[in-house]
Amino acid sequence: MTTLAAPPPGGPAGPVAASITFAWRSLLKIKHVPEQLGDVIGIPVLFTLLFTYLFGGAVSGSTHQYLQYLLPGTLALAVVFVTVYSGVTLNRDLTTGTFDRYRSMPIWRPAPVVGALIGDLGRYLLAAGLVVGLGFAMGYRAHGGAPGVLAAVALVTLFASALSWTWTTLGLVLRTPTAVMNLGFVVLFPLTFVSNVFVAPRTMPAWLRDVADANPISHLVTTARALMNGTATSHQVLGVIATSAAITIVFAPLTTVLYQRRQ
Binding region for other proteins (CB under 8 A): 1-13, 17-18, 21, 24-25, 28-29, 32-33, 96-98, 100-107, 111, 263
Nearer to other proteins, 104 or 203 (CB): 104
For residue 8, which amino acid is it?
Answer: P
> CB of 127: closest distance to other proteins in angstroms?
21
For residue 48, which amino acid is it?
Answer: T
> CB of 36: closest distance to other proteins in angstroms?
9
Q: Which phi and psi angles does 48 have, rounded to 5°?
A: -65, -50
Nearer to other proteins, 72 or 115 (CB): 115
Nearer to other proteins, 9 or 205 (CB): 9
Length of the chain: 263
> CB of 262: closest distance to other proteins in angstroms?
9
Vertex 241 angle, CA 81 and 163, to 5°: 25
**CB atoms inside a 10 Å sphere around CB 10:** 4
Separation of CA 77 from chain center:
9
> CB of 169: closest distance to other proteins in angstroms?
20
Nearer to other proteins, 234 or 263 (CB): 263
d(CA 182, CA 20): 30
The end-to-end CA distance of the chain, in Å, is: 39
Nearer to other proteins, 106 or 205 (CB): 106
Nearer to other proteins, 10 or 205 (CB): 10
> CB of 141: closest distance to other proteins in angstroms?
41
> CB of 194: closest distance to other proteins in angstroms?
37
Nearer to other proteins, 5 or 146 (CB): 5
**CB atoms inside a 10 Å sphere around CB 262:** 11
d(CA 118, CA 9): 26
Nearby residues of 261 by Cβ (< 8 Å), 6 or more positions away: none
> CB of 102: closest distance to other proteins in angstroms?
8
d(CA 22, CA 71): 33
d(CA 156, CA 169): 20
